């Protein structure tokens, strides 16, 4: 079977279709644009939406960074980087500042993003109302009529039952005072990084065939109540490697008696802070 | 110190080396060839082509081999190949009445015009695992020059089975002629047909897209949900098999630069029409309604299940208020694709430690004054 693949795998017509969807998504911040998602050679749920976005916007001069759980070296990040190295011959970087495109699963880098950079999020469930109303035919109407009462009721019920809002990641946000949006399963710690960010944030859900976006300098507000304001995760200690006290910390179990240490989830930020240089 | 955090690249490489080794198995055992798979595992190839939604025997057989016989994985390989293929255009709709049938049965009439022909089927075999001696010895191999290029299962001539007459009237046409059938929803063909692989599924869904989704849906899911209908979870009557047909159809295509149609190949298809008593006879004059199934290759359980679901999901009022999963288009059509479902279920193997950390922090930071109320006074 003679096989040849286009630059960055997807054919140019498919890329154009995705770019048109991206433009629409940028024009209506937070709105989920249905698109003709293609089958990718990686499984659904493993970043096919993100990969399609990256494939559609990447050019030969781009420098791509891929992270998963904040790390450049987790298996799925490695696999996606290998995919773009093979299909696009693209330059890969671990340095947040040097990257023109950053594809991510579950984190936003600690290093502040800059204008001109594109963040690409892998999204498993694009619909923030999915667990309140599983039917797309219904949620489409709820978004259309800005009928978001049930989301606030859910958050209120959390407070009534647990004394606080019980969502720890994929914490819903309202974009540009209009659409409620899933920020993808990033920890709520990362939500404020989206607010008025100078970078372009693109969200791709391959299986659900939805693209949405937050354009630069757009208001992204985590839902809360006046008397129960949105709050971030806090740690008592600092990173065991770089000593950082202002980053999201992962917990590493170091022995079978449960001894724990905390280190930065963002490996690039951590190594930089610890004084390591990059190749 | 960074033991748990670094090393992904090396681990992935090693894993790929190991899976290649596992796939090859014992080096002293001869490697299976793609020819052997297309010839001797033909029904498996059919399934991979159907759910991979690509009629390419060789690609399907290569995928089965590469996936170590894991059908869902093979289907995935075929899909990821298919998605990159260029589209030349739409073929002329195939004429299943002109199918060269190798098998045709009806459950509603004892005799039908054109006849009932069992053809190759496991239906009346005893499922006893046979040893080599139980099989009749192979007759000497004859190289048939006409069919040498194609796997024998893909040509009616190579089957050594005398095909049925060239044109078979559809059994349900007999009912139609008597005015006993309600008109099907109009289905568009060719250029006007929507394409599931180029556009997202949106609800309410047209019959075009419903049939496309079911045709490439997971055999097990389609079978199980169709079965639930039969058990009363959505059907209140026994359905009937109007006609089930397996055979070869010619595919014709009109290249724009030629302006006339040419024969581009043959496909093996399984077609099924299911007949149900209409529940709401008062509303319409006719007394029966039908469901349709069409699948690549020979796969009767899939085609039959598909035709049951086509009917149960039909109807403008059927927006999911019927309570049973197999009557809810959004439930069935959103969950029947095994490339989607397999990927998403198994993505749980990916690291989730950032999200899990958020949950840990949340639970540990529980306000002391607000222990969850267990219902005690």
Residues B109 and B64 in one domain: no
Reply yes or no on whether the pLDDT at B264 is more than 70: yes
Q: Would B59 be classed as within a structural domain? A: yes
B276 lies in a domain? yes
Final residue in a domain of this structure, among A222, A243, A264: A222
ipTM at complex level = 0.76
Distance CA A265, CA A249 (A): 5
Residue B33 located in a structural domain: yes
Is B140 a member of any domain? no
A274 touches chain B (CB under 8 A): no
Q: Are residues B36 and B102 in the same domain?
A: no
Which segment of B41-55, B237-251, B308-322 scores lowest on mean pLDDT? B308-322
- Kind of pairing between the strands at A200-205 and A118-122: parallel
Residue B295 falls within a domain, yes or no? yes
pLDDT tens across A212-226, in order? 999 999 999 999 999
Cβ atoms of residues B99 and B113 within 8 Å: no
pLDDT at B110: 82
Rounded CA separation B298/B303 (Å)? 9
In percent, the amount of chain A with pLDDT more than 90 equals 80
B358 contacts A44? CB cut-off 8 A? no
Which H or E element spans position A36?
none
Closest residue in A to B195 (Cα) is A36
Same domain, A265 and A214: no
Q: Are residues A104 and A68 in the same domain?
A: yes
- The answer on A176 and A122 residing in a single domain is yes
Q: Does B304 fall in a domain?
A: yes
Task: Please count the other Cβ atoms lying within 10 Å of the Cβ belonging to residue A116.
Answer: 10
Question: Could you tell me if residue A5 is inside a domain?
Answer: no
Flag whether B350 is in a domain: no
Q: How far is B288 from chain A (nearest CA, A)?
A: 30
Same domain (yes/no): A205, A249: no
Indicate the average pLDDT of chain B: 84
Identify whether residues A262 and A147 lie together within a single domain. Answer: no
A158 and chain B in contact, CB less than 8 A: no
Q: Where are the beta strands (DSSP E) in chain A?
A: 33-34, 63-68, 91-92, 101-105, 118-122, 173-175, 179-181, 200-205, 210-214, 220-222, 249-253, 260-264
**Number of folded domains in chain B?**
2
Q: Mind listing the pLDDT tens digit for each residue in B25-53? A: 999 999 999 999 999 999 999 999 999 99
Q: Is residue B36 included in any domain, yes or no?
A: yes
Element (H, E) at B266: strand B262-277
Query: Per the CB < 8 Å rule, is B12 touching A75?
Result: yes
Contact A168 B362 (CB under 8 A): yes
| pLDDT score recorded for residue A186 | 95
Report if residue A108 sits inside a domain. yes
Averaged pLDDT for residues B42-69: 97
* Contacts of B123 by beta carbon, 8 Å cutoff, 6+ apart: none
Q: In terms of domains, do A262 and A173 share one?
A: no
Exposure pattern of B43-64 as b/e (b: 16+ CB <10 Å)?
ebbbbbbbbbbbbbbebbbbbb
B15 and B40 share one domain: yes
> B355 — contact with chain A (CB < 8 Å)?
yes
Q: Indicate whether A193 and A218 sit together in one domain.
A: yes
Closest CA to A271 of A95, A86, A67, A52: A95
A38, B83: Cβ pair inside 8 Å? Answer: yes
Q: What is the pLDDT of residue B164?
A: 67
Q: Over chain A, what is the mean pLDDT?
A: 93
Interface test with chain A among B8, B13, B364, by most A beta carbons within 10 Å: B8
CB nearest to B8's CB, from A70, A75, A188: A75
Q: How many domains does chain A have?
A: 2
Range of the domain at B269: 96-120+152-340
- By the CB < 8 Å criterion, does B339 face chain A? yes
Is A7 inside a domain boundary? no
Please report whether residue A6 resides in a domain: no
Say how far apart CA A74 and CA B264 lie, in whole Å. Answer: 47
Which of B114-118, B195-199, B286-290 has the lowest average pLDDT?
A: B286-290
The answer to whether residue B320 neighbours chain A at the CB level (below 8 Å) is: yes
The predicted pLDDT at position A258 comes to 78
Written as one string, the DSSP assignment of B116-137 is -B--S-STTS---PPPGGGSPP
CA distance A47 to chain B (A): 9
* B247 and B221 inside one domain: yes
The residue-averaged pLDDT of B286-297 equals 89
Tell me which residue range forms the domain holding A262.
234-279
Q: Does A126 touch chain B (CB under 8 A)?
A: no
Taking an 8 Å cut-off on Cβ atoms, the answer to whether B358 and A209 are in contact is: no
> Quick check: is A253 in a domain?
yes
Q: For the segment A101-129, what is each residue's pLDDT rounded down to a tens digit?
A: 999 999 999 999 999 999 999 999 999 99
Q: Are residues B101 and B23 in the same domain?
A: no
Does A200 lie in the same domain as A78?
Answer: yes
Does residue B54 sit in the same domain as residue B106? no
Same domain membership, residue B102 and residue B63: no
- Considering the domain architecture, whether residues A98 and A31 belong to the same structural domain is answered as yes
The predicted model gives B204-229 an average pLDDT of 95
Residue A152 · residue A223 · CB < 8 Å = yes
DSSP type of residue A12: H
DSSP character at residue B196: T
Interchain contact B88–A (C-beta under 8 A): no
* Cα-based distances in Å from B338 to A35, B69, B349: 20, 16, 17
The model's confidence at residue B280, banded by pLDDT at 50, 70 and 90, is low
- pLDDT over 50 at B318, yes or no: no
Whether residue B101 sits in one domain with residue B48: no
Q: Is B200 exposed, middle or buried (0-12, 13-18, 19+ CB in 10 A)?
A: middle
The closest alpha carbon to A267, from A250, A253, A245, A255, belongs to: A250
Query: Residue A39 and residue B83: Cβ atoms within 8 Å?
Result: yes
Chain B residues with beta carbon closer than 8 angstroms to that of A105 = 350
Non-local CB neighbours of A187 within 8 Å, separated by 6+ positions:
A106, A107, A168, A169, A233, A248, B354, B355, B357, B358
Distance CA B199, CA A128 (A): 22
| A104/A176 same-domain check | yes
Report the pLDDT averaged over residues B281-299: 80
Close Cβ partners of A4 (under 8 Å, ≥ 6 residues apart): none
Has residue A2 been placed in a domain?
Answer: no
Domain co-membership, B46 together with B158:
no
Segment A144-164, tens digit of pLDDT: 999 999 999 999 999 998 888
* Residues of A labelled as active-site residues: 30, 239, 242, 264, 270
Q: Whole-structure pTM over 0.95, yes or no?
A: no
For residue B340, which residues of chain A lie inside 8 Å, CB to CB?
A: 44, 207
Question: Which of A23-27, A186-190, B164-168, B370-374 shows the lowest per-residue confidence on average (mean pLDDT)?
Answer: B370-374
Q: Do B47 and B188 have their domain in common?
A: no
pLDDT tier, B151 (very low <50, low <70, confident <90, very high otherwise): very low
In a domain, A110, yes or no: yes
Q: Is the pLDDT of residue B228 over 80?
A: yes
Answer yes or no: do A169 and A104 share one domain. Answer: yes
Q: Residues A188, A55: one domain?
A: yes
Asked if B75 and B104 sit in the same domain, the reply is: no
pLDDT at B136: 80
- Which residues in chain A touch residue B204, judged by CB atoms under 8 angstroms apart? 137
Q: Taking CB atoms and an 8 Å cutoff, what residues of chain A touch B19?
A: none
Residues in chain B with CB shorter than 8 Å from the CB of A37 are 200
Q: Is it the case that residue B144 has pLDDT exceeding 70?
A: no
A177 assigned to some structural domain? yes
The pLDDT value recorded for residue A212 is: 98
pLDDT band at B368 (very low <50, low <70, confident <90, very high): low
Using CB atoms, which residue from A38, A71, A106 is nearest to B355? A106
Question: Which helix (DSSP H) or strand (DSSP E) does residue A9 occupy?
Answer: none
Look at residues A173, A188, A222 and tell me which one is the last residue of a structural domain: A222
A45, A136, A250 member nearest B343 (Cβ): A45
> Parallel, antiparallel, or unpaired: how do β-strands B100-105 and B240-253 relate?
antiparallel
Who contacts A180 (Cβ-Cβ below 8 Å, separation ≥6)?
A: A30, A128, A129, A143, A148, A151, A172, A173, A174, A223
> What's the average model confidence in pLDDT over B121-150?
73
Same domain, B177 and B210: yes
CB distance A43–B347 less than 8 Å? Answer: yes
């Amino acid at each position: 079977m003679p096989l040849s693949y286009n630059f960055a795998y997807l054919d140019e017509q498919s890329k154009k279709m995705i770019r048109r969807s991206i433009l629409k998504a940028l024009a209506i911040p937070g709105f989920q644009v249905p698109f003709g998602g293609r089958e990718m050679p990686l499984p659904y749920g493993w970043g096919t939406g993100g990969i399609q976005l990256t494939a559609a916007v990447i050019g030969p001069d781009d420098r791509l960074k891929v992270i998963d759980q904040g790390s450049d070296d987790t298996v799925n990040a490695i696999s996606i980087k290998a995919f773009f190295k093979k299909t696009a011959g693209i330059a890969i970087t671990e340095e947040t500042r040097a990257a023109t495109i950053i594809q991510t699963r579950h984190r936003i880098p600690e290093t502040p993003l800059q204008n001109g950079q594109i963040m690409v999020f892998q999204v498993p469930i694009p619909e923030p109302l999915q667990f309140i109303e599983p039917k797309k035919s219904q949620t489409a109407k709820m978004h259309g009529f800005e009928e978001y009462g049930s989301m606030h009721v859910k958050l209120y019920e959390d407070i009534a039952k647990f004394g606080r809002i019980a969502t720890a990641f994929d914490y819903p946000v309202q974009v540009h005072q209009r659409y409620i949006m899933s920020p993808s399963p990033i920890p709520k710690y990362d939500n404020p990084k989206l607010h008025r960010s100078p970078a372009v944030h693109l969200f791709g859900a391959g299986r659900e065939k939805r693209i949405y976006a937050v354009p630069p300098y757009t208001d992204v507000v985590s839902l809360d109540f006046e008397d129960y304001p949105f709050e971030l995760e806090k740690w008592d200690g600092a990173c065991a490697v770089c000593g950082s006290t202002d980053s999201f910390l992962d917990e590493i179990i170091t022995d079978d008696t449960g001894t724990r240490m905390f280190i930065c989830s963002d490996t690039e930020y951590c190594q930089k802070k610890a004084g390591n240089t990059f190749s | 110190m960074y033991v748990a955090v670094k090393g992904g690249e090396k681990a992935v490489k090693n894993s790929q080396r190991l899976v290649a080794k596992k796939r090859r198995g014992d080096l002293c055992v001869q490697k299976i060839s793609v020819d052997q798979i297309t010839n001797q595992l033909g029904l498996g190839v059919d399934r991979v082509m159907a759910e991979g939604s690509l009629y390419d025997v060789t690609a399907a057989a290569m995928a089965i081999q590469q996936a170590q016989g894991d059908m869902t994985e093979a289907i995935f390989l075929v899909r990821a190949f298919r998605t990159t293929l260029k589209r030349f255009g739409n073929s002329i709709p195939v004429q299943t009445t002109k199918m060269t049938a190798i098998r045709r049965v009806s459950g509603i009439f004892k005799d039908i015009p054109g006849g009932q022909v069992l053809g190759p089927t496991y239906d009346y075999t005893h499922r006893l695992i046979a040893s080599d001696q139980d099989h009749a010895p192979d007759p000497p191999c004859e190289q048939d020059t006409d069919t040498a290029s194609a796997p024998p299962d893909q040509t009616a001539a190579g089957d050594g089975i005398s095909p049925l007459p060239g044109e078979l009237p559809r059994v349900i046409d007999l009912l139609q002629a008597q005015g006993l059938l309600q008109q099907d929803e109009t289905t568009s063909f060719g250029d006007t047909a929507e394409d599931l692989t180029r556009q997202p599924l949106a609800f309410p869904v047209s019959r075009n897209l419903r049939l496309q989704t079911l045709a490439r849906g997971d055999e097990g899911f389609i079978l199980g949900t169709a079965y639930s209908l039969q058990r009363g979870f959505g059907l209140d009557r026994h359905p009937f098999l109007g006609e089930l047909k397996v055979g070869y159809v010619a595919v014709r295509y009109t290249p724009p630069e030629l302006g006339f149609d040419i024969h581009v190949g043959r496909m093996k298809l399984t077609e099924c029409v299911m007949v149900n008593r209409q529940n709401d006879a008062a509303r319409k004059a006719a007394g029966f309604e039908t469901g349709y199934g069409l699948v690549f290759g020979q796969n009767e359980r899939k085609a039959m299940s598909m035709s049951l679901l086509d009917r149960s999901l039909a109807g403008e009022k059927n927006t999911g208020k019927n309570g049973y999963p197999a009557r809810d288009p959004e439930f069935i059509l959103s969950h029947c694709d095994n490339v989607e479902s397999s990927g998403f279920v198994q993505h749980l193997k990916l690291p989730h430690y950032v999200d899990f950390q958020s949950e840990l922090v949340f639970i540990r930071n529980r306000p002391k004054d607000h222990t969850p109320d267990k219902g005690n006074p």
